[in-house]
Amino acid sequence: MLLKRIFLLIFIGSYLQFSLSGQEKQAQNPLIFADVPDMYMLRIGDTYYMSSTTMHMSPGVPIMKSNDLVNWKIVNYAYDVLDTVDDLTLKNGKSTYGRGSWASTIRYHNGTFYVSTFAQTTGKTYIFSTKNIENGPWKMLSFQPSLHDSNLFFDDDGRVYMIYGAGKLTIVELNPDLSGIKEGTERILIENASAPAGDKIMLGSEGSQLFKVNGKYYLFNITWPRGGMRTVIIHRADKITGPYEGRLGLQDLGVAQGGLIDMPDGTWYSYLFRDYGAVGRIPYLVPVKWENGWPVLGVEGKVPEILNLPASNGLIPGIVASDEFSRKKGEPALPLVWQWNHNPDNKLWSVTERKGFLRLKTGRIDSSYLFVRNTLTQRTIGPECNGSTSVDVSNMKDGDFAGLSVLQRKFGLVGVKISSNTKSIVMVSAGSGKPVEVQKVPLTQKTIFFKIECNFRDKVDVANFYYSLDGKIWNSIGEQLKMEYTIPQFIGYRFGLFNYATQNTGGFVDFDYFHIENKISEKN
C-alpha cells in the first residue's frame, strides 16, 4: 500500500511538472508589456515585421522583427529626424509632445518596403521606402496635407490608395510615384464608420487598416462608445471603393486598434493594443477564425490570456536593454533601444570622448526639464522594472542638474544639482503637475549612483527613487511618484538620462552605464 502511494505521488508530481512546463511554453497576453501602440504587422515568408508610434522621439517609427509573432527585436527606424522645426528641436519654448509622427503603415510591394506615417507637427504625410528594411537606406517622400491615421494600400491592379479620417472615412488615390494625392480622386468611403457600435460615440472610428483576403477588402477601425470601451469595428467590401458593410469585431478589456496577420500554417491573429495606465499602450494578440467570409476575433468574443504560440523570452534585450556605453569599432554610437526626447543636438553628446561612457554636455540655458534637449530615453516595461546608472559629476558647472528620470508630463527626477558651487543629491517630483524639489542631500564625492523602480502591476503605477554612494547600499530619496498617463504627452513613461544648465553652459557629465531589469525590490 505504501509503495502504491509513493508511485501515485511520483505520478502526480510528474504530471504537475509536465503541465506547468507546458504552460511555460505558451505565450501570454499582453504580448509586449511596454508602450508599443498603433502597431502594423507584415509577414514576409516566415519573418514578421512591425512598425509602431513613438511620436516626438528621435529616431522615429521603430521597425521590429520577429520569427514567431511573440519575441520582437528593434532592427531599424524609418527616419532619424522627421524635420528641424522649433517644435521638434525644443526651441523658442516649443515642443511636439502629444504630436510628432502617428499611426504608421508598413507594406511590401514589388521588392520594396514602404512605411507611411503623418505628423500634425509639420502638416505633412510621409512615405519612406527601402529595399532593405533592416539596414536601409530609406528614401523619404512627403506631401500635404497631414492625412489623419492614413493607411497606405497597394492594390493588385497597381493603383495605390490611402484611407484616412475619424468617424467619416475618406479614400484617395495617390500618384503612381507616391508624390501626392492624384487630383480628383478624393471621396467619402464610409460616412459613419462607428455605426456598428451604436449612435452614442465618444471617439469616432479611426486607425484605419485595410487588408485584402481572398478577393475581399477588410477595413479595421477603432471606435469608443460613450460609457463603454475601445471597440474594434470591421467593414468588408468586394471593391476597394465600396460599398462597405460593417459589424462589431471585438469589445473586451478595451483591446482595440490594429489589424490582421496570418502565419505560414494558415493560422490567423489580430494584433491590437490596450491602454494600460502609466506604462502606456501595450500590444495584445487575439486568435482569429473565419466564418461566412468574416474574421471572428477572440475566443467566444473574449481576449485570451494564453496563446498557442511560443513563450516570450522577455523584453530584454530586444525592446529595452542595458548599455555599458562601450563601443567596438564599426558599432553604432547608440543601440536601437535608445531614442532621444525630440531631436538631439549631436554636438553635445558623445560615447567616444571618454571610452566606456556617455557624455552629455550643456550648450544652452534651460529652466524646465521638459524642454531639455539630449535627454536619452528607453521605454519602461511591465509589470515592474528598474533602471539604474552611475554618473561622474566632477565637471558640472554652477546651476547644472544631471541624473536619471522617468519621463512624462508628471515626471520624476533624481540627480545632482549644483547651487553656489555646492553639490546636492536632489529628488524632484512633478506628480502635482508642477515640479517640486522634495528632498536634498549633500554630496561631496564625484561619482554617484541612481536607481528608479517602477511598479505597473495591476495599474498601481508608482515609482520610487534611490541613490547610492557605492553602488551597493541604496537609500530612498524624496517621495513616491504616482505616475499618470497624460494626453498632453500621449506616451508611456520612459527612463531618461539628462543633463541641463540653468546658469552656465559648457559643463558635462559622464554616465558609466545604464542597467534595466524586470524586477523591483520586495519592499516597493
For residue 524, the model assigns a pLDDT of 56
Same domain, 122 and 32: yes
| CATH number of the CATH domain containing 461 | 2.60.120.200
Specify the pairing of strand 216-225 against strand 422-429.
unpaired
Last residue of a domain, one of 307, 329, 364: 307
Same domain, 299 and 430: no
For residue 7, the model assigns a pLDDT of 42
Number of domains observed in the structure of the chain: 2
Same domain, 123 and 174: yes
Q: Which of 191, 96, 181, 168 is nearest to 142 (CA)?
A: 181
CA–CA separation, 127 and 118 (whole Å): 9
| pLDDT tens-digit map of 267-279 | 999 999 999 999 9
Tell whether 314 is covered by a domain.
no
Tell whether 312 is covered by a domain.
no
Same domain, 303 and 375: no
CA–CA separation, 165 and 56 (whole Å): 21
Domain that holds residue 447: 339-517
Last residue of a domain, one of 307, 331, 366: 307
Same domain, 68 and 195: yes
Tell whether 90 is covered by a domain.
yes
Contacts 24+ apart (CB under 8 A), 210-213: 210/151, 210/153, 210/163, 210/240, 211/259, 211/260, 212/155, 212/156, 213/260, 213/295
Same domain, 93 and 225: yes
Tell whether 325 is covered by a domain.
no
Q: Give the Cβ contact number of residue 133 at 10 Å.
A: 24
| CATH number of the CATH domain containing 260 | 2.115.10.20
50: enclosing H helix or E strand: strand 47-51
Tell whether 85 is covered by a domain.
yes
E-assigned strands of 238-345?
A: 245-250, 256-262, 268-275, 281-291, 294-297, 306-307, 339-341
Same domain, 371 and 244: no
Which amino acid appears at position 58 of this protein?
Answer: S
Tell whether 474 is covered by a domain.
yes
Same domain, 282 and 366: no
C-alpha cell at 169: 472615412
Mark the ranges of the chain whose per-residue pLDDT is less than 70.
Answer: 1-24, 523-524
Tell whether 20 is covered by a domain.
no
Same domain, 56 and 148: yes
Q: Give the Cβ contact number of residue 167 at 10 Å.
A: 17
CA–CA separation, 484 and 494 (whole Å): 12
Asked whether the beta carbons of 133 and 76 are under 8 A apart, the reply is yes
Same domain, 301 and 348: no
pTM given for the model: 0.94
Same domain, 385 and 450: yes
| pLDDT tens-digit map of 86-116 | 999 999 999 999 999 999 999 999 999 999 9
Same domain, 295 and 353: no
CA–CA separation, 316 and 210 (whole Å): 32
Supply angle C-alpha 384, 385, 389, rounded to 5.
165
Instruction: Name every residue whose Cβ is closer than 8 Å to that of residue 250 and which is 6 or more positions away in sequence.
Output: 231, 232, 256, 270, 272, 286, 297, 298, 301, 303
Tell whether 22 is covered by a domain.
no
For residue 8, the model assigns a pLDDT of 41
Q: Cα–Cα distances in Å, from 29 out to 161, 274, 286, 312, 457?
A: 33, 11, 9, 10, 14
SS3 325: coil
Asked whether the beta carbons of 169 and 153 are under 8 A apart, the reply is no
For residue 161, the model assigns a pLDDT of 98
For residue 522, the model assigns a pLDDT of 72
